[in-house]
Structure formats: structure tokens, C-alpha cells
Amino acid sequence: MATERINMPQLGESVTEGTINTWLVSAGDKVNKYDPIAEVMTDKVNAEVPSSFTGVINELVAQEGDTIQVGDLICYIDTEDGTSANASAGGDNSEQQQNDAEKEDDSKNTSMKKRYSPAVLKMAQENDIDLQQVEGTGRGGRITRKDMEQIIASGSGPKEGETKVGTSTPKTEEPAPSRAPVQESSPKPAAAAGDIEIPVTGVRKAIAQNMVRSTQEIPHAWMTVEVDVTDLVAYRNQVKDTFKEKEGFSLTFFAFFVKAVAQALKEFPQLNSTWAEDKIIQRKDINLSIAVAKDQELFVPVIKNADEKSIKGIAKSIHELAAKARSGTLTADDMQGGTFTVNNTGSFGSVQSMGVINHPQAAILQVESIVKRPVIMNDMFAARDMVNLCLSLDHRVLDGLIVGQFLARVKEILETINKDTTSVY
């Protein structure tokens, strides 16, 4: 025995409900399949509702005069048929449980964590929120727009600036996260009357951020060598006028230094590398960043594959990049991919400086002013053209020994440059 439902049948096109006019049976009556059990009135037709089963009427749910939606229950009938509707219901339950289990698995899945929708990216950008630190409630751990709205409303979003410190430090190190708050709590200096306040924007802001990042992350160490470039100076002065006439741009001292560095880097690839937390990446390409100042801004465009270029080629690259920097036409491509920086501090008259490494490179070389000085050679005084090369190194990547060898090699190359050994072409 099983109890079945009899529902209000569809009694014509566009008919959605019917009113029970008269019940033709009552509880306890035995009916055959297709026997009429009730008279139903719709706004289109009056009709008899047939029984869908053979059995005994169990309960009349709808009363005479009730208006019932098509498909809704009107009465129960006990059938002699053994198959029970409840059996299948049990099956549904287990399926439901399985679905629940699947759902639980889904909550641990974070495959969508880094798939950001345009809305989420926009909100992160506008509110300076670091998405890496946001917990997503969407499918697969996805961060939803609602998650972002909540963070913004609560004002507790992990800020982009803070995390630059945090992300580069291994998570196990305790002091790293505390550094950012300390920084934030120091009071801002106030401007007095007559002071000029210059808003920090654009390039200035980027420089500031990079410098902070570089000095906070990289343990700097310094080393300076003195190089005798008398022959180089003589050679360059001898050819510079004809060079300018022929090529249309100047043959600077700086080009010689860049060439020497590129050549030495080929022999000491340890300096052409990057700190990457659990490893050091040695770069194959030698792409030299050079610093170019323009008014209040500092650009570091890149001479790509400097080791493959002649001195003339390097001079030309420097000339072009400097011109672009001054006219503000440097492209992102011009600025990318640097592996080591050579900085021409000598152009400002400096004779010694301590450069800040251009993150994430491993070292920076400052080429200072060439100064004519009395030097003792073969126990005699001589007037020589001297220059200091000051190198800042990332002590995580490099030690004194290798850097000393590198600088000695640069020195050697530079001191042997003269018209017999070297061609600018």
C-alpha cells in the first residue's frame, strides 16, 4: 500500500486554476483509475477530474468551493500498488547529502582566488587595497564585489603600500609586518607659514616608493676603487671631434665606462642577478639601466644587451635614451628589463657617493668625476686623470670577494683603453 497525491489537472489552454464545485467521492470510497472524483469549474470549462490511480480515497484536502492552482494537491489516495512514492524520496535524500559533501569540498577550493573581476580590480585600485590579502567568499575562493564593498565600508582593507614591505619578506620573519605600522605612526611634519608644499605625485611618488623599498629590503654594502684613466682620456679627446662630426652625437666618457662594465659583467654574472627569496636568479642578458635626470624627475632607461654593442653603439643608445627622457617620450619598454645600473654621478662633479640599488637588481655602479691629480708612479709624481668607481651591492646576493674581483676587472679594462688597444667602433 502506498499513498499517492492527486493534483489539480490542466484543464485547457491558459487555464491556471480551477474551483472544486462538487466532490463526487468521499474519504474511504474505493475508486478505479479514470473514475471521476470531482467536478471542477474554470473560467473556460466545467470538467470532471479523473482519478489517476485505482485505490481508496484517503483524505480530501481541498474543500468544495476552494480555488486550487493547477498542479496543487486536491486529495490523497491509498493505492494497492506496492511501489511507494517515499522510496524515491529516500533516494533523493542521499543524493542531497552527496551534494552537501561536494559543497563542503568546494569551500576549501581556492582555484578562483586570483581571478579578479573588472569590478573588484577597479575597487582595489581606487581604494588602494592589496587583493592578495583579501579573503574571497565567492566560488573557489573568488573575491566578489560584495567582499570589496564590505572591506571598503569597514575601512580595514590591507593597503597596497604596507604589503610591499610584507610580501618581500618571508612570512616566518616576525619583525616584517610590524615595520609598516611603526612607519605609519610617526607624525607627519607640518608646514610652517611661507613654506611651499609640493604634492607628491607621479614619478616623484614612484621614486620615493622604490627608494624606500630598496633601502628597507636590501642590505647595502659599499666598495670604491680608484682608476687611472689617463690613456682613456687622451684617446677620447683625440677622437671626439671627428666622431661628433661623423656620427652626429658626442662620444662621452660614460660610454667607455658602460662598455667596460658590460664586458666585466659577462665575466662576473654573479653581479648581474636578482634576489628572489628562496633563490638567486642570474640573468643571461646584460641590460644596463642608466640614470637620466630631468628637472624634478629621475628616469632609469635601459640599454638592452649592452655587451653586444660597441662603444659607439652604447654612446648612441645613451644619446637616444637621454633625448627621449628629456622630451618625455620614453616608453615602458625603454624602462624595462634592467639587470644592473651604471650611474653617471660624475656629471654633477661628485667624487664619491653611495648609490641606492635599483630594486630588484643586485648592484649599482657610480661613475664619479674624472679629476686630474698628482699620483705617485714609479716613485715619481705624475699628473694623472683619476676617477672613483663606487659600487653598492646587495649583501644577500654578493660578498666582498667577488665584488672586489669584479671592480678590479673593470679597473683593468679601463686602464688599458688607449688608441692602440681599443676601437670605438
Residues of this chain that bind other proteins (CB under 8 A)? 10, 13-17, 43, 117-122, 138-139, 142, 144-146
Catalytically annotated residue among 35, 72, 78, 395: 395
Catalytically annotated residue among 128, 285, 333, 399: 399
Nearer to other proteins, 44 or 246 (CB): 44
Nearer to other proteins, 142 or 411 (CB): 142
Using the 8-state DSSP alphabet, how is residue 2 labeled? E
Examine the residue annotation and report whether 395 is marked as an active-site residue of this protein. yes
Please state the closest distance from residue 145 (CB atom) to other proteins, in A. Answer: 4
Cα–Cα dist 78/57, whole Å: 6
Please state the closest distance from residue 120 (CB atom) to other proteins, in A. Answer: 7
Mapping DSSP to helix (H, G, I), strand (E, B) and coil, where does residue 10 land?
A: coil
Residue recorded with cell 499513498: 3
Q: How many CA atoms lie within 13 A of 222 on its CB side?
A: 10
DSSP string, 18-65: EEEEEES--TT-EE-TT-EEEEEE-SS-EEEEEPSSSEEEEEE-SPTT
Please state the closest distance from residue 137 (CB atom) to other proteins, in A. Answer: 9
Nearer to other proteins, 138 or 313 (CB): 138
Nearer to other proteins, 119 or 377 (CB): 119
Which amino acid would we find at residue 304? K
Please state the closest distance from residue 148 (CB atom) to other proteins, in A. Answer: 9
Nearer to other proteins, 16 or 416 (CB): 16
Please state the closest distance from residue 147 (CB atom) to other proteins, in A. Answer: 10
C-alpha dihedral sign at 133, 219, 271, 307: positive
Let me know: does 253 contact 347? Beta carbons within 8 Å: no
Examine the residue annotation and report whether 319 is marked as an active-site residue of this protein. no
Beta-strand ranges (E) seen in 26-170 are 30-31, 36-41, 46-50, 55-60, 67-69, 73-79
Provide the annotated active-site residues. Answer: 395, 399
